[in-house]
Amino acid sequence: MPMQPGLFTPVKVGPLELRNRIVMSPMTRIRAGEGCVPTESMVRYYSQRASAGLIITEGTHPSQMGRGYTFPPGLHTDEQAAGWRKVTDAVHAAGGRIFVQLMHAGRVSHSNLLPDHALPVAPSAIAINGDVHTFDGKHPFEIPRPLATEEISAVIEEYRRAAELSIKAGFDGVELHAATGYLPNQFQVTGSNRRTDAYGGSLDGRTRFTLEVMEALCGVRGADRVGIKIAPGYTVNDTFDDDPAKTYTYLARRLNPLGLAYLHVGYDSGYGRGTAPPFNPIDLLRSVYTGTLLPVGGFNKATGEAAVAEGRTDLVVYGRMFISNPDLVERLRLDVPMNSPDVRTFYGGDDHGYTDYPTLAEEKRPAQSP
Ligand SMILES: Cc1cc2nc3c(=O)[nH]c(=O)nc-3n(C[C@H](O)[C@H](O)[C@H](O)COP(=O)(O)O)c2cc1C
């Protein structure tokens, strides 16, 4: 009888042999340097976590207009690609694998963060109800500028170019952030898309942008090195849809023929904002999506092990536990207590709460004598 797989059983994702089924979730940490270039601290942070079967980086903008925060990393300049190369080299040297998450903020941005103080772009002129952190503090979200139909191909081209730079930067693959109210998600849902052109209206229209971006990414990297993240029915960043179950099952069906590396599905945004859907997104999609599913949201050792052992998923994605436990894989293996993440240091700041969470070995080391 074949052995039942567990979290530590190697698995193949696309052409990649992963040494375990534990994936580090994409998490924005707002610690990039000048020009949105990855720093040495980021090299340390990611390489500390390289024992994950796969790391997915924090959201990384594919263009200046895609930037959503004060110090996120980008992937649209050669300097940024060179900075990321140091990260990927360090992760590979430690035996890990790493995908970059491409995140265009769209209306989750502010003119204060964008070139020439341009208004953020979006499918329609509908503002998010709430505040955004900018260079001079919190401001209400602005009414974004709707993208003209003829501008959309240029935005897709930005994603394509970022995929090209991802090769130069040494990434094993790319993930499209199409969840939690970022640009592709803004097009998908009825609450933020009131367009009457080919990129709005019907399900076909509202998913067109996402699918065209995916085709562009697959064209560069090959579909088996491309993933996508969705979070069906979560309302964070004012993501409202008239019929989320219908919208996301439609999208999953349309993704099937692409033959992607995986479909990453959020159960919980991790932001402590927004509300959950009235259905379990994995249950919703399992019968529809024919490829590899990566569920994320609130997993611990027991629930992750059970999900893999019962065949409900091939891999399990962990977010916040990876922030505070660089050796999460080892801690899960030994079933020992975890460090708790400090929410005050999630976004921005120095290395405190970033690269100074101790491993088990560091905890056991006797205090240095002066
Ligand atoms: C500090 C922080 C930043 C995050 N940034 C991103 C991001 O850039 N891209 C993304 O897809 N999800 C992001 N998320 C969501 C996580 O990837 C993950 O889906 C969520 O935390 C739920 O998993 P968990 O319960 O294991 O933490 C973020 C979550 C946190 C806590």
Q: How many residues does the chain have?
A: 370
Helix (H) or strand (E) holding 39: none
**What pLDDT was estimated at residue 41?**
98
Give the distance (Å) from ligand 1 centre to CA of residue 227: 16
Specify the residue for token string 């340097």. Answer: 33
Number of Cα atoms under 13 Å in the Cβ half of residue 224: 6
Cβ of 297 closer than 6 Å to ligand 1, yes or no, is yes
Q: Do 42 and 329 contact (CB within 8 A), yes or no? A: no
DSSP strand pairing (131-134 vs 137-140):
antiparallel
- Tokens representing 47? 């390489």
Q: How far is CA 368 from CA 48, 301, 351, in A?
A: 22, 33, 20
Cβ of 342 closer than 6 Å to ligand 1, yes or no, is no
**What pLDDT was estimated at residue 366?**
64
Which amino acid, one-letter code, is at 139? H
Catalytic residue among 45, 46, 182, 267: 182
Q: Which residues contact 302 (CB under 8 A, 6 or more apart)?
A: none
Distance CA 127, CA 108 (A): 9
Rounded to two decimals, the pTM is 0.97
- Tokens representing 310? 């019962």
**Catalytic residue flag (residue 182):** yes
Cβ of 28 closer than 6 Å to ligand 1, yes or no, is yes
Domain 11-364, architecture per CATH? Alpha-Beta Barrel (3.20)
Distance CA 302, CA 299 (A): 8
Hey, is 214 helix, strand or coil?
helix
Buried b (16+ CB within 10 A) or exposed e, 65-90: bbbbbebbbbbbeeebbebbbbbbeb
**What pLDDT was estimated at residue 365?**
75
**What pLDDT was estimated at residue 270?**
59
Supply the residue whose CA is at minimum distance from atom 1 of ligand 1: 346
Distance CA 145, CA 267 (A): 30
**What pLDDT was estimated at residue 146?**
98
Instruction: Report which DSSP code applies to 249.
Output: H
**What pLDDT was estimated at residue 274?**
76
Instruction: Report which DSSP code applies to 291.
Output: S
- Tokens representing 283? 């249950």
Give the distance (Å) from ligand 1 centre to CA of residue 269: 6
Instruction: Report which DSSP code applies to 110.
Output: -
Cβ of 266 closer than 6 Å to ligand 1, yes or no, is yes
**What pLDDT was estimated at residue 370?**
47
**What pLDDT was estimated at residue 4?**
81
Give the distance (Å) from ligand 1 centre to CA of residue 267: 11
10 Å Cβ neighbour count for 235? 20
Cβ of 274 closer than 6 Å to ligand 1, yes or no, is no
Distance CA 152, CA 213 (A): 10
Give the distance (Å) from ligand 1 centre to CA of residue 64: 22
Distance CA 121, CA 105 (A): 9
Cβ of 354 closer than 6 Å to ligand 1, yes or no, is no
Q: Do 206 and 112 contact (CB within 8 A), yes or no? A: no
- Tokens representing 25? 């979730």
Block mean pLDDT (10 aa), the chain, length 370: 82 97 98 98 98 98 97 98 98 98 98 97 97 94 98 98 98 98 98 98 98 98 98 93 96 98 83 78 92 94 93 93 98 96 97 98 71
**What pLDDT was estimated at residue 278?**
84
